[in-house]
Amino acid sequence: MNTSIIKYVLGYVLKIEAALLLLPCVVAVIYRESQGWYYLAVAAASGLIGYLMSRKKPADFVFFLKEGCVATAFSWIFLSFFGCLPFYLSGEIPSFTDALFETISGFTTTGASILTDVEALSQCALFWRSFTHWIGGMGVLVFLLMIIPLSGGSHINLMRAESPGPSVGKLVPNVKATARILYIIYFGMTVLEVILLLLCKAPLFDALTISFGTAGTGGFGIKNSSIADYSSAFQWVVTIFMILFGVNFNAYYYMLFRKFRKALSMEEVKAYFGVIAVAIAIIFFEIWRTTGGVATALRDAAFQVGSIITTTGYSTADFDQWTQTCRTILVLLMFIGACAGSTGGGIKVSRFIILVKTLGKELNSYMHPKSVRKIKMEGKPIEHEVVRSTNVYFITFVLVFAASLFAISFEGKDLVTNFTAVAATINNIGPGLEMVGPTQNFSFFSPFSKYVLMFDMLAGRLELFPLLLLFYPPIWTETIRRKRRKLLP
Amino acid sequence: MNTSIIKYVLGYVLKIEAALLLLPCVVAVIYRESQGWYYLAVAAASGLIGYLMSRKKPADFVFFLKEGCVATAFSWIFLSFFGCLPFYLSGEIPSFTDALFETISGFTTTGASILTDVEALSQCALFWRSFTHWIGGMGVLVFLLMIIPLSGGSHINLMRAESPGPSVGKLVPNVKATARILYIIYFGMTVLEVILLLLCKAPLFDALTISFGTAGTGGFGIKNSSIADYSSAFQWVVTIFMILFGVNFNAYYYMLFRKFRKALSMEEVKAYFGVIAVAIAIIFFEIWRTTGGVATALRDAAFQVGSIITTTGYSTADFDQWTQTCRTILVLLMFIGACAGSTGGGIKVSRFIILVKTLGKELNSYMHPKSVRKIKMEGKPIEHEVVRSTNVYFITFVLVFAASLFAISFEGKDLVTNFTAVAATINNIGPGLEMVGPTQNFSFFSPFSKYVLMFDMLAGRLELFPLLLLFYPPIWTETIRRKRRKLLP
């Protein structure tokens, strides 16, 4: 393994984090909060270590999928480790495990919190907490792609490891240009949401932090009641933007270049809106009698469906108290997730389309055993490799899920709590049901279970394999063997 | 589609059922029960209809996988329909839906009951109920293979549709001979269990019915307390035989021909015993303090683990009251299931071995993207087709599971009840947790939910595709189109 390039990439990541940590410092200055010093100190430390790590340029700038995955996994672990230090050092989150949990939850855009009282945090902490969502939503490495000089096919190996979805959609042949377009869309839409929320008479701080959480499909609120206490106009804006950030960004790319027909004909996007419409309709009919009026019921249904399917995790109603049908629908939506190529998590709509089409093809093969028909999407046959890797992804997902469920079962919590806690973390949502419901939090878990759930959050955000690879012994034994061979004559 | 051969096969199935229905008549004579007349009447009707259906030999004795699947699915539906009539007509189960549920549960070796008081049934009803397990365990069509004259590769198409597991293991090149050997092993082991249970001083009726339920991995008991009131020796015999009937029958075949080393080296069998040992050990440590003594705890742990992993469903303890770890382990075991080529249900151990190896291969491919290493089992590479169909099976399983969970959620029962009700039926186990726990039953479900669960039981027993094919429109539209074309000049 080309360890020197991994070190180099990690150094760059830390330098970026140092720059990003300066923003909460600005917030601290504005609100005259002494906690700002901790952010400044960690920024300095992170910048220095980053500088030292990336000072020496690696001899070889080519790196393969393996290095891409390992670099990605370590980047996210490094980011989270340094990102949690201000919380821990300032004493705002006294336990290191909790601080790390909260930060991983932030960067992975999960939004599961261990805090029982969010409002007690300082403004700079609240800002940093929400800002991690925005950073994690699009991915740091995608950002890195714009500035780091890598050779040949190396860019795509880095992007493939971090991008959500079954296939990496290079919008334009050049990976750097793709990354730039993605960030422009991301930035533009975030600004638009901030402006709209300001028009709803929200304070700037609220508009900013809630927009960060929406854009990254994160879900950390800055109030204990999440979004419930904001005006209904505010809630509708958040609903719409949550759903918009769950759309495959390719659609926006097409729209940017006035290819509206191509954007509207995307099968995944159509299915995504179809699922949302059906889920809202059923939940609306289930709750409208018991909720205060038709308008409230519709708003609550739309908000919660948008929040769960995009894996954001904001809430305006305690859906844990809804009927079993509603709860079951929401649990199913947790797994479906948003579109590939969006900032959302979950298994992704396009994967489910491929899975359902695989089933259809199988049934067809019982009628015509010699047929070699390929699965099609948007009229074009899907590469066998994409179908295969989708199947493998799904299988791996279920196996990791089952193992996590088993690992946290030793706590003795009820099955629904355990099941939805794993579902809410591996799908990067945030709230689940019962003891991890929307009005609850994850603080009661033991440190062991918290580390299992942290693993799930990272595994979910990185689409499993980059993280699992770190736990695959041959990758280390082979590297060590090669290094030894070099030392021998 | 060759409909005439399907009709012919179905006719044969009904004739066999007519013969089988005479056994409860004998029981009725012995116990002087008037309900016996209903069994005789249904036997006569079933025999007559079967005779009429199979009177005319089809012109073409060749049939393909499609016909094999459709014939299998309809056979099981016909079997269950006629099999439930004595329960319904005699008034012992007053609701037709309930009678059908109980019979499908019997034939599919699920053992989920809608009866609140089993002991109120007549002896002939109890006998028939347990006997359906024995019939369903090995499969009626496997039996048919021995007596029906089919040409060419048709046998294997029928066997493939009914046999559990990822690949049909033809023990010997001739399918007829394979079927005969399977039935000899099945019959022999059942007789052995009956003898051992008689040695435990059990009455003959109990020894017979409990053995039927063990052999078929069914789980219908003849007492309201299932197996809890029998002696500990009796419970140990049942435990051992449950586990033995969950072993791949190929192992017994090898042992029959003194190929002991080959039998003991079967990867699936080793993994199966490994999982059982680990599960028993963990559960034992979780419960031994609260259960009356080490011996009882070990017996209870072994019995319940054996019962769940083999998807039998007998119980000697209310495992719904055990710790969350135990409950989670049992839920996971429900999905793992027994070995392929046994009478047990579930996803099957060998499928999980393939799935885990697929994951390992995927991780390896991140290191060596150009490697074309194949997955191996017992030293031999697995055919790509087997891996692919295992993946597709798993995906289909999860999709059917999710759809069923959604369908029964409208009842408003809690999530654990719904989840384990679907798990217990699609995996052909019987009891689940909470409201469908081992001391409960399925009677409270609405007729709609009962039909969903009946679908799941049949889908699980027939390994999904034969049943799903009936709901795949092209299979019917194509047949109709062909028939029409024939009528036109």
Contact B327, B200 (CB under 8 A): no
State the average pLDDT over residues A253-279: 91
Nearest to B396 among A327, A359, A410 (CB): A359
B89 pLDDT tier (thresholds 50, 70, 90): very high
Instruction: Give the per-residue pLDDT at B204.
Output: 96
CB contacts, 8 Å: A66 with chain B: 366-367
User: Is the CB of B391 less than 8 angstroms away from the CB of A395?
Assistant: yes
Please give the biggest Cα pair distance in chain A: 81
B242 vs chain A: nearest CA distance in angstroms? 25
* Interchain contact, A395 vs B358, CB within 8 Å: yes
> Worst-scoring range by mean pLDDT, B38-42, B293-297, B375-379?
B375-379
pLDDT of residue A269: 94
Contact at CB, B327 and A415, closer than 8 angstroms: yes
Residues from chain A that touch B472, judged by Cβ atoms under 8 A, are: 363-364
Compute the mean pLDDT over every residue in chain A, rounded to the nearest whole number: 90
* Residue B57, helix vs strand vs coil: coil
What sign does the dihedral B468-B471-B473-B479 (CA atoms) show? Answer: positive
Q: Nearest residue of A to residue B404 by CA position? A: A328
pLDDT reported for residue A144: 72
- The band of A384, judged by pLDDT with boundaries at 50, 70 and 90, is confident
Q: Who wins on pLDDT, A335 or A178?
A: A335
List, in order, residues 6 or more apart from B6 with CB less than 8 Å away.
Answer: B63, B67, B70, B71, B74
Predicted confidence band at B321 (pLDDT cuts at 50, 70, 90)?
very high
Residue B152 has pLDDT above 80, yes or no: no
Burial of B183 (0-12, 13-18, 19+ CB in 10 A): middle
Tell which phi-psi region holds residue B217, choosing left (phi > 0), alpha (psi between -120 and 50) or beta.
left
> Which chain A residues are within 8 Å of B285, Cβ to Cβ?
none
Tell me how close the Cα of A129 comes to any Cα of chain B, in angstroms.
Answer: 33
Q: Report the C-alpha gap between A217 and A436 in whole angstroms.
A: 18
Q: How far is B403 from chain A (nearest CA, A)?
A: 9
Residues B238-284 have pLDDT tens digits of: 999 999 999 998 899 888 888 888 888 889 999 999 999 999 999 99
Are A418 and B324 within 8 A, CB to CB? yes
Hey, are the CB atoms on B324 and A412 less than 8 Å from each other?
yes
Q: Do A359 and B392 touch (CB under 8 A)?
A: yes
Instruction: Kindly report the nearest CA distance between residue B315 and chain A, in angstroms.
Output: 21
pLDDT band at residue A164 using 50, 70 and 90 as cut-offs: low
Shortest CA gap A316–chain B (Å): 22
Q: pLDDT tens digit string along A119-154?
A: 999 999 999 999 999 999 988 777 777 666 665 566
Distance CA A125, CA A34 (A): 11
**Does the beta-carbon distance from B399 to A472 stay under 8 Å?**
no
Residues from chain B that touch A389, judged by Cβ atoms under 8 A, are: 362
Hey, are the CB atoms on A328 and B409 less than 8 Å from each other? yes
Q: Using CB atoms, which residue from B329, B367, B415 is nearest to A66?
A: B367
pLDDT at B250: 86
Residue A168: pLDDT above 60?
A: no
Chain A residues closer than 8 Å to B335 by CB: 402
Contact (CB<8Å) A398/B399 = no
Considering CB atoms only, which of A323, A364, A415 is closest to B328?
A: A415
Identify the pLDDT of residue A389: 86
Among the listed residues B444, B343, B360, B446, the one whose alpha carbon sits nearest the alpha carbon of residue B133? B343
Whether A170 shows a pLDDT value over 60: the answer reads no
**ipTM exceeding 0.85, yes/no:** yes
Q: Which of A325, A367, A399 sits opposite B355 (nearest CB)?
A: A399
Question: What is the nearest CA distance from A254 to chain B, expressed in angstroms?
Answer: 32
pLDDT computed for residue A20 by the predictor: 95
The per-residue pLDDT for A382 is 86
Rounded CA separation A457/A104 (Å):
7
What pLDDT band is residue B166 in, cutting at 50, 70 and 90? low
Q: DSSP letters along A225-285, please?
A: TTTTTS-HHHHHHHHHHHHHHTS-HHHHHHHHTT-HHHHHT-HHHHHHHHHHHHHHHHHHH
pLDDT at B162: 65
The DSSP secondary structure of B273-326, one letter per residue, reads HHHHHHHHHHHHHHHTTTSSHHHHHHHHHHHHHHHHHTT----SS-GGGS-HHH
B146 min Cα distance to partner chain A (Å): 24
pLDDT band at B4 (very low <50, low <70, confident <90, very high): confident
Per 3-state DSSP, what percentage of chain A is helix, strand, and coil (rounded to 5)? 70, 0, 30
Coil vs helix vs strand at B219: coil
pLDDT at residue B149 greater than cutoff 70: no
Q: B409 to chain A: which residues are within 8 Å by CB?
A: 324-325, 327-329
CB distance A366–B414 less than 8 Å?
A: no
Per-residue pLDDT of B425-472, as tens digits, reads 999 999 999 999 999 999 999 999 999 999 999 999 998 998 999 999
Contact assignment for B415 to A416 by CB distance below 8 Å: yes
Q: Is the predicted pLDDT of residue A414 greater than 60, yes or no?
A: yes
Asked if pLDDT for residue B62 goes beyond 60, the answer is yes
Q: Nearest CA of chain A to the CA of B185: how many Å? A: 31
Q: Chain A residue closest to B68 (CA)? A: A366
Contact state of A468 with B363 under an 8 Å Cβ cutoff: yes
Of the candidates B366, B395, B465, the beta carbon closest to that of A366 is on B465
> What number is the average pLDDT over the span B141-162?
66
Q: What percent of chain A has pLDDT over 90?
A: 67
Task: Give tens-digit pLDDT for B383-437.
Answer: 888 888 889 999 999 999 999 999 999 988 999 999 999 999 999 999 999 999 9
Residue A155: pLDDT band (50, 70, 90) is low
Whether residue A77 contacts residue A461, with contact meaning beta carbons closer than 8 Å, is answered with no
Specify the 3-state DSSP secondary structure of A316.
Answer: coil
pLDDT number for residue A94: 95
* Each residue's pLDDT tens digit, A366-382: 888 787 778 888 888 88
Both structure tokens of A181:
């377009």
Residue % of chain A over a pLDDT of 70: 94
> What angle is formed at CA A206 by the lines to CA A202 and CA A211, rounded to 5 degrees?
105
User: What residue in A sits closest to B363 (Cα-Cα)?
Assistant: A469
Averaged pLDDT score across all residues of chain B: 90
Nearest neighbour of B324 by CB, restricted to A331, A391, A413: A413
What is the pLDDT confidence band of residue B486, given thresholds at 50, 70 and 90?
A: confident
The minimal CB distance from A325 to the residues B364, B410, B414 is found for B410
Cα B338–A464–A305 angle (5° rounding)?
90
Is the pLDDT at B43 greater than 60? The verdict is yes
pLDDT, average across residues A382-408: 91
C-alpha–C-alpha distance, residues A66 and A469, integer Å: 8
* Of the partner residues B323, B402, B474, the one whose CB lies closest to the CB of residue A367: B474
Nearest by CB to residue B359, choosing from A69, A366, A399, is A399
CB contact under 8 A, B363 and A465: yes
Q: How confident is the model at residue B171 (pLDDT cuts 50, 70, 90)?
A: low
- Chain B residues near residue A399 by CB distance under 8 angstroms: 355-356, 359
Beta bridge partners of B381: B376
Nearest Cα of chain A lies from the Cα of B287 at a distance, in angstroms, of: 13
Residue-wise pLDDT for B194-208, tens only, equals 999 999 999 999 999
Average pLDDT of span A257-269: 87
Residue recorded with tokens 């066997």:
B159
What is residue A147's predicted lDDT score, i.e. its pLDDT?
A: 66
Q: Say whether B328 and A414 touch across the interface (CB within 8 A).
A: no
Q: How confident is the model at residue A2 (pLDDT cuts 50, 70, 90)?
A: confident
Report the C-alpha gap between B426 and B346 in whole angstroms. 7
Interface test with B, best of A415, A420, A448, A452 (most B CBs within 10 A): A415
User: Are the CB atoms for B431 and B437 separated by under 8 Å?
Assistant: yes
Min Cα separation B365/chain A (Å): 9
Instruction: Provide, rounded to the nearest whole percent, the portion of chain B with pLDDT above 70.
Output: 93
Nearest residue in chain B measured CA to CA from A160: B366
Cβ contacts of A351 on chain B, cutoff 8 Å: none
Cross-chain residue pair A327–B415, CB shorter than 8 Å: yes
Confidence band for B153, pLDDT divided at 50, 70 and 90: low
Would you say residue B170 has pLDDT above 80? no
Is-above-0.90 flag for pTM? yes
How much is the pLDDT for B488?
65
What integer pLDDT is reported at residue B380 of this predicted model? 84
